Amino acid sequence: MATHRDMRFSLIALAAVFCILVANVLSVDRNNFRTCDQTSFCRRCRGVQPGASPYQLNLDSLQTTASSVSAEILNSVLNVKFVFHLYSLADNTFRMKINELSPLKPRHEVNFVLNGEPNYVRLEVLEKTSEKAVVKSGENKVEIFANPFRVDVYRGTELLISTNARGLMRFEHLRPKPAPKPETPEGEEQAAVAPTDDTESDPGAWEENYKSHHDSKPNGPSAVAMDFTFPGAEQAYGVPLHADFFALRNTKGIDPYRLFNLDVFEYELENGMSLYGAIPVLYAHGLKESAGVFWLNTAETWIDIAKPDGENVVSSIVNLVSGSGQEPQVDAHFMSESGIVDVFFFLGPKPLDVFRQYSALTGSAPLPPLFSLGYHQCRWNYNDEDDVRNVALGFDEHDIPMDVMWLDIEHTDGKKYFTWDPVKFAHPTDMINNLTAMGRKLVTIVDPHIKRDGGYFLHQDAEANGYYVKNKDGNDYEGWCWPGSVSYLDLFNPVVREYYASRYLLSNYVGSTLDLHIWNDMNEPSVFNGPEVTMLKDNIHYGGWEHRDVHNQYGFMQHMSTYEGMVKRSQGTLRPFILTRSFFAGSQRYSAMWTGDNLADWGHMRMSVPMCLTMAVSGYSFCGADVGGFFKYPDAELFARWYQLGAFLPFFRAHSIIESKRREPWLYNPDTTAVVRQAIRRRYNYLSLWYTLFYEHSRYSTPVILPLYALYPKDKDVYAIDNEFLVGDALLVHPVVTSQASEVQVVFPGENERWYETETFELFRGRSTVSVPVDMNKIPVYQRGGTIVSRLERVRRSTALMHNDPYTLVVALDDKGFAKGTLYIDDGETFKYKSNEYLYIQFEFSNKSLKAKFIDKKAHFPSKAWIERVVILGLNKKLSSDPIVKSKSVGEQSLKFSSDDSYNVVVVRKPGVSVTEEWTLSFSF
Amino acid sequence: MSMKAMAGCWRPAKFLENMMHLLVIQCLFLILVVQLYPASSAPEITRPRGVSISKASMYDPEKDFKCFDGSRTLPFSLVNDDYCDCPDASDEPGTSACPSGIFHCTNAGHFPLNIPSSRVNDGICDCCDGTDEYASSAGCENTCLEQGRSARAAALRRAELSKQGNELRLQLIRQGKQQKADKKIRLEQLQRDREEAARIKQEKESLKSTAEELEKAALEKYRQAAEEERAKQSSSAQEEQEAFEQFQRLDSDHDGFIRISDLQTRQTFDKDKNGEVSEEEALYFIEHDELDWSTFYAEAWPKMKPYLMMEKGLFTPPSTPPPSIDAPGENAEEFPADNGEEDEEEEEENPENSEATDVPDVEGEATEVTEEPPQYDENTQNLIEEARKARTEYDEADRSLRDVDREIRDIEDGLGKDFGEEEEFVTLQGQCFEFTDREYTYRMCPFDQVTQTPKNGGAGTRLGSWGRWTGNPKYSTMLFENGQGCWNGPQRTATVNLVCGLENQLTSASEPNRCEYLFEFSTPAVCTAESSDGNPHDEL
């Protein structure tokens, strides 16, 4: 919701102090954000020359445990020692850690991000020579080279990842601050005695200024950097969040991709500038293999990418190994300001495997409450209780389903979170109950900055108990944000987290009910008067860690606490819904995210697809963009197109800035209202598909939406496609992202794959590119042959009201006349599914019959839902008699059906079987 | 048995259906459908669930059912069997099976109601008779009698209000017509007066010019001496310096050129005082896309200077406003002039303020130089005195004419406004109504403007000037537009919805959209005698 322009608005009213920020620009002011060159550690790391690595591994020091090896590494120039660990993990995964052997003070290692201790597996040393050690785990092999230090990771005989192959490793050991150099010739001699590196000559090594901000850097230089080479890879993906295309670009000659969570105003598209969240996972993919690395570091991080650039194949390091000079390859160079080297290698072999291998470490999202997959209506701000009531009523009057109303910061009493405006929102419980009467929910915003107001309980508690983040002098850090003067809870402190979590209890959050859910915004954290609109890096957190060490995890700590509180408030019975703007790897375990404060323009709408695809493959499926665009006002066409797209991204919420005109779906014109109604209804038609996909995500960690290359890894031409995407493995969505489009070029992937248009059922075949005509009414969506998708054709006012509604099964046959799919059903809101209260059904069409079977036989759920209709696509065989359904409840019955002349579309009328039973539908042809 | 005739019977909801659906829903929500057949004359037909009496004859259990659109014929057993067979939803009036079906609730004792069939058995009681939830766990009670009673009571109250209000309205119409007639008479009178005033003015003008010529001749010698003196003092260098300083102030990016945008940030150049400097206004001064110093000094400076001086209070405009400064329909008199912008507006609108016309000043230009007048001989003194008298008399004549003109203009303006079909809004003109909420006092002056003033003092804001009637029906909504611009937003507008009430009263104020204000104003002027709706036709 919030950024500097709003900040500008609000602060000008508050104080002219910040008028420096007033610049009437229409997009991001790049001057407010550092470049690599303006960042001393990035400058140093990027300046490392390849091919001259001073790091040597001492093979004599090699030690082995059941699942790891360790050894010492020496920086032969600086004569500093490090310790190296290599661990073998289940599912084609390795972990490599490098830390100083005896640092001046402990270096930061990341907590909470991994979803428990990784699953280590056996590893054995195959051979050890003077040059290298070779270790093996299952089919995988790692070669550890001594001089220069290099680690080559193989799956089978295929070299997938080579570490420090280019020699860009840099590990800045902690050192005492050098005394000012005396201006004498002896100085040089001393330098010869104690070897130094280029930190000596870097004026930013021990203190750094940016704009009017000073970073005292008491620990001096502490960067870590490593390069990774992926032989054979054509493309690289990942490292969100950036407003850029799905396939990462070559960063030669431009800034590296930056990961440093920031509140960026009107962000620009197609570049690697930092945005609100950071997930340092990177995938590389080529014709033969998929692989990935996860760089576990919460400090500011930059990533350089080199990849095949058209004709220009980079000179391959594989030459050393395979002798082939023409192979493509991707090089990635990770650079972090502090911490240690802690990196995971994922060996695939397929894209879905590497995604799973990453998710195994950081966890996948728990099953969200059903309502959160419906449509969300947000605005900064709904003015008062009447406004909320009337907007909700407007949805009913226009017969548009809607599940959640949202309240932005203005609902509070003076931007004090967990409070309500005493006049405009004087009866919050009544307001919530009015929504829940239609099965709807309310979401309120809770930001991490705390108003420094002596009368505010949260501030009183935090100040009295020392709960705030401290500045370098040990005093409570004060900054500026929405409420004016604020401080920030130190959520790295377990006591603070427990206190914060308990704020969400119904007894503490007065006026809330179990139907109220939470939005954590501004948690980068956003500090209006801080460097780059965030917190000073030399601030101090719990345990004495500098903000520098943990910056990218601040938002994570907030929603982790929120999640804990929200689970507690229902005594662990109800699933919470939380939306966050800032995030780190692992955040998916607690919250949904969105792409922040976008703009109402076609470019931002189009970019929401690659942004959410990148999130999805980075373990974080619950992603969406503000439908309609946050800043500015979309015209009717853009508005309608955005709903059509938004309905097919996992998180579906409209939002708008306070200055923009109101834009509830009926405020344009009747045609637009009709298009938007249809788009939102389509979302609800596929609600059970979304819910099933989220369930399967929680269970198997498969991304809910997928890039084409994930299912078609051998088709080089789809590697960079991000203007269409897949929902599960079933739907292919091609949004319309240009104005006045009369046709779109749809790529139908897969040799001989069948794709059925979801409303006309027209058949398209892969692999082809077809110019498909479009009108305003909808965007092209296709169901893949071989899948069975459930639909809910009775769209109600909200998801809660659709609970007992019957399902239509759309059976899209492949060339072999086969199809299968799943359906997950439970109560939609509690954790009872964890104790087997659910239904997980597999449908399979083969050999002239459609069978429904329970995947988990011991799971049960007393649903009233039933099968209303079965649609068979692509049968193309004349039915010789009526289909026969067989189940416990209906016995054996013949059913009416209808079809077109060529039996392309066969509709079986009313099987009437319950979803709680297994059944068979038999055909004769 | 194959039912190939059913081909295409089911398809996902289509866009067109939805378009139609929208219309239906909107109508349903707005209008409670009143049955055409009173209960007493209704034929005894058992209707399928969800069917209104008017459509009951279409559902004959003895026959096969034909979809209303004629597309298909079904065995009657498929009606309301919870499966959608007709594309037009007509086979499932009583279930939620069809995506755009309509469910009819009889609501005996209250108004019957049509709801989207997606609301059938969804767990929410939509019909007061509870018939929409026949197979859900909602446990709806029949509240129709109770609701019907209070609806009838409310309708009676409404009818009584309308009746009383309508009487007042008829009075307003009479008064309005009378006022308008009076004004027409007055206008005729004024037009006659104007002729006389114009004649007097002409006469005085010629007397004045004769006297002034004599005076001028007599003063010539003194003037020459004085001008020589002044020329010495008023150095053109000083003027140039002032101009140059201004040039630099305006050239915000210091590139040596002034552009339209440079002027647009200066309220000084807002000639029409509408809160923003339009490109046109800026171009009036600079005439080019950009101006260098020399062009500026030669061309733009002379035009700008009066405005800059006016801003500093050094200059009062000449008695005849420049033709370009014209803000028709603006009338700031009702509004407390407590901000600078409004001050300027008043100065413009009241040229009488410029009383300094008795200083003999050839150009009518402002002058900061007040010098001791030289001593004149007696003859000259007399001629000056004569000329002064002639000017005073001329000014009086001129003022009288302008007074008449202004009144004529006011009346014509008034007569030109749309005061409703029967002049029922005439009496509202010239009145103002206030509403005060937590923070602001809003003041709505029909046919004039709407303003907002903070309760704790501070500058007021014009939310809009009278625009037009925009309601449906036309005379139910007033739009005031072109209010003060919002920070980073549009110009403010105010919409006033008129509802029937016995008194003229502003009853609510809100800002549903940023800078778009919404008011409710109750007035008898919109009370029409409703057709008696106190007795809803029940289906019993």
User: In chain B, pLDDT over 70 holds for what percent of residues?
Assistant: 75
Comparing A31-35, A128-132, A280-284, which segment has the lowest mean pLDDT? Answer: A31-35
How far does the CA of residue A383 sit from the closest CA of chain B (Å)? 8
- Are A678 and A781 in the same domain? no
Please check whether residues A407 and A520 belong to one and the same domain. Answer: yes
Q: Is the model's pLDDT at B490 over the cut of 50?
A: yes
User: Which chain A residue has the Cα nearest residue B83?
Assistant: A910
Average pLDDT value for residue range A148-157: 96
Scan residues 380-409 of A and list those with Cβ closer than 8 Å to B. 383, 387, 397-399
Catalogue all structural domains in chain B, each as residue range(s) with its CATH number. Answer: 50-141 (no CATH), 175-312 (no CATH), 426-523 (2.70.130.10)
A720 part of a folded domain: no
What is the per-residue pLDDT for B213? 87
Of A215, A244, A597, A626, the active-site residue reads A597
Check pLDDT > 70 for residue B5.
no
Cβ <8 Å between B6 and A661: no
Of B9, B23, B122, the CB nearest to A907: B9
Q: The complex's ipTM?
A: 0.89
Q: Could you tell me if residue A492 is inside a domain?
A: no
Selected residue with higher pLDDT from B64 and B246: B64
Residue A581 lies in a domain: yes
How is A381-397 classified by DSSP, letter by letter? Answer: T--SHHHHHHHHHHHHH
Taking 80 as the threshold, does the pLDDT of residue B15 lie above it? no
| Chosen from A413, A660, A801 to mutate, greatest number of chain B CBs within 10 A | A801
Flag if B8 and A795 touch (Cβ within 8 Å).
no
pLDDT at A18 over 50: no
> Given B7, B22, B516, which is nearest A899 (Cβ)?
B7
A333 plus A389 within the same structural domain:
no
Residue B366, Cβ density class (10 Å: 0-12 exposed, 13-18 middle, ≥19 buried): middle
Locate the chain A residue with the closest alpha carbon to B30: A397
Chain B residues within 8 A of A439 when measuring between CB atoms: 123-124
Mean predicted confidence (pLDDT) in A827-836: 97
Which of A167-181, A783-797, B387-401 holds the top average pLDDT?
A783-797
Residue A394 counted as domain residue? yes
Determine whether the interchain pair A900/B7 forms a contact, defined as Cβ–Cβ distance below 8 Å.
yes
* pLDDT(A745) > 70: yes
Query: For residues A560 and A111, what is the distance between their CA atoms, to the nearest angstrom?
Result: 12
Report the gap between the CA of B487 and the closest CA in chain A (Å). 9
Q: Nearest C-alpha of chain A: how many angstroms from B109?
A: 24
Domain boundary residue among A688, A706, A724? Answer: A706
Checking if the pLDDT of A27 tops 90, the result is no
A474: left (phi over 0), alpha (psi -120 to 50) or beta: left
> What is the domain-level CATH number for residue A440?
3.20.20.80
Report which residue type is found at A266. Answer: E
The H-or-E segment that residue A882 falls in is: strand A881-887
Chain B residue numbers touching A871 (CB-CB < 8 A): 10
Q: In what order do the strands lie in the sheet with A479-481?
A: A449-451, A484-488, A479-481
Beta bridge partners of A161: A153
Confidence (pTM): 0.82
How confident is the model over A755-763, as a mean pLDDT?
97
Q: What is the pLDDT of residues A799-809, one digit of tens each?
A: 999 999 999 99
The whole-number pLDDT of residue A181 equals 64
Q: What is residue B276's three-state secondary structure?
A: coil
| DSSP state at residue B485 | B
pLDDT digits (tens, 9 = 90+) for B339-382: 444 344 333 444 444 444 444 444 444 444 445 556 778 888 88
What would the pLDDT profile of A476-492 be if each residue is shown by its tens digit?
A: 999 999 999 999 999 99
CB contact under 8 Å between A759 and B12, yes or no, is yes
Mean pLDDT within A237-241: 98
Query: Do A346 and A391 sit in the same domain of this protein?
Result: no
> Chain B contacts of A677, Cβ < 8 Å?
18, 22
Average pLDDT over chain A reads 93
Catalytic residue (one of A403, A413, A521, A549)? A521
**Of residues A376 and A313, which shows the higher confidence score?**
A376
In this complex, the residue of B1, B14, B15 whose CB is nearest that of residue A882 is B1
Among the listed residues A566, A562, A584, A582, the one whose alpha carbon sits nearest the alpha carbon of residue A521:
A582
A914 occurs within a structural domain: yes
Q: What is the mean pLDDT of residues A447-455?
A: 97
A366 DSSP 8-state letter: P
Looking at residues A882-896, what average pLDDT do you find? 96
pLDDT of residue B369: 46
Residue A336 has pLDDT above 90, yes or no: yes
A438-452, B50-64, B334-348: which has the minimum mean pLDDT?
Answer: B334-348
Nearest CB neighbour to B18, from listed A423, A674, A759: A674
- Is the model's pLDDT at A664 over the cut of 80? yes
For the segment A683-738, what is each residue's pLDDT rounded down to a tens digit? 999 999 999 999 999 999 999 999 999 999 999 999 999 999 999 999 999 999 99
CATH number for A117: 2.60.40.1760
Mean pLDDT (whole number) for A495-519: 98
Q: Please, which pLDDT band fits residue B242 given cuts at 50, 70 and 90?
A: confident
Q: Give the integer Cα–Cα distance in Å for A425 and A315.
A: 64
- Average pLDDT rounded to a whole number, residues B114-138: 95
- List Cβ neighbours of A37 (8 Å cut-off, separation of 6 or more): A43
A191 in a structural domain? no
In this structure, the answer to whether residues A848 and A882 fall within a common structural domain is yes
Beta strand A725-727 pairing with A768-773: unpaired
Q: Quick one: A686 and A776 in the same domain? A: no
Q: Is A719 inside a domain boundary?
A: no
Residue A218 · residue A547 · CB < 8 Å: no
Strand partners for A55: A75
Q: Tell me the pLDDT of chain B averaged across its residues.
A: 78
Classify the phi-psi angles of B464: left when phi > 0, otherwise alpha if psi is within -120 to 50, otherwise beta. left
Residue ranges of A 178-217 with Cβ closer than 8 A to chain B: none
Position A211, amino acid: K
CATH of the domain at A739: 2.60.40.1180
**Measured between CB atoms, does A774 come within 8 Å of chain B?**
no
A29 Cα to chain B: minimum distance (Å)? 18
Residues A608 and A656 placed together within one structural domain of the fold: yes
Probe site for chain A from B72, B73, B96 (most A CB atoms < 10 A): B96
pLDDT of res. B10? 52
**B496 by DSSP, 3-state: which?**
strand
Selection from A261, A265, A263 nearest residue A27 by Cα: A265
* pLDDT of the residue at B77: 95
Q: How many beta-carbon pairs under 8 angstroms link A with B?
A: 122
Query: How large is the average pLDDT for residues A242-254?
Result: 96
A596 phi-psi bin (left φ>0, alpha ψ -120 to 50, beta other): left
Is residue A316 pLDDT above 50, yes or no?
no
Range of the domain at A171: 43-175+203-239+279-310+326-362
The chain B residue lying nearest A910, using CA atoms, is B83
B86 with B102: CB under 8 angstroms? no
pLDDT tens-digit series, residues A891-917: 999 999 999 999 999 999 999 999 999
Residues of A in contact with B99 (CB under 8 A): 793-795
B514 closest CB neighbour out of A659, A794, A801: A659
Nearest by CB to residue B3, choosing from A677, A685, A896, is A896
Contacts of A901 in chain B (CB under 8 A): 4, 7
pLDDT reading at A138 higher than 90: yes
Nearest CA in chain B to A658: B514
Would A285 be classed as within a structural domain? yes
Give strand ranges (E) for A499-569. 516-520
Per-residue tokens: A734: 């091609």
> Does A685 touch chain B if contact means CB atoms closer than 8 Å?
yes
- Examine the domain organization and report whether A353 and A378 are in the same domain: no
d(CA A380, CA A663): 11
Rounded to whole angstroms, the Cα distance separating A122 from A603 reads: 49
Same-domain status, A301 and A342: yes
Q: Residue A185 — pLDDT band, cuts 50, 70, 90?
A: low
Do residue B511 and residue A383 have CB atoms under 8 angstroms apart?
yes
Contacts of A661 in chain B (CB under 8 A): 513-514, 516
Calculate the dihedral angle through the C-alpha atoms of B471, B475, B478, B482, rounding to the nearest 10 degrees.
80
- Those residues with Cβ within 8 angstroms of residue B219's Cβ, 6 or more apart along the chain or in another chain: B360, B376, B380, B384
- Name which of B124, B510, B517 to mutate to probe chain A: the one with the most chain A Cβ atoms within 10 A of its Cβ: B124
- pLDDT tens profile A569-623: 999 999 999 999 999 999 999 999 999 999 999 999 999 999 999 999 999 999 9
Best mutation site among B122, B437, B438 for testing chain A: the one with the most A CBs within 10 Å?
A: B122
* The two structure tokens encoding residue B307: 């405005």
Q: B58: distance to nearest CA of chain A, Å? A: 24
- Co-location of A348 and A406 in the same domain: no
Structural domain total, chain A:
3
| Predicted pLDDT of residue B334 | 41
pLDDT of residue A25: 39
Work out the pLDDT band at B431, boundaries 50, 70, 90: very high
If asked whether residues A516 and A573 sit together in one domain, one would say yes
Q: Is the dihedral of CA A470, A472, A477, A479 positive or negative?
A: negative
Q: How far is B466 from chain A (nearest CA, A)?
A: 22
Does residue A767 sit in the same domain as residue A624? no
Contacts of A863 in chain B (CB under 8 A): none
A521 is catalytic: yes
- Give residues 636 to 665 of A whose Cβ lies within 8 Å of B: 658-662
Nearest CA in chain A to B123: A801
Residue A268 sits at the chain B interface (C-beta within 8 Å): no
Q: What pLDDT shows up at residue A310?
A: 52
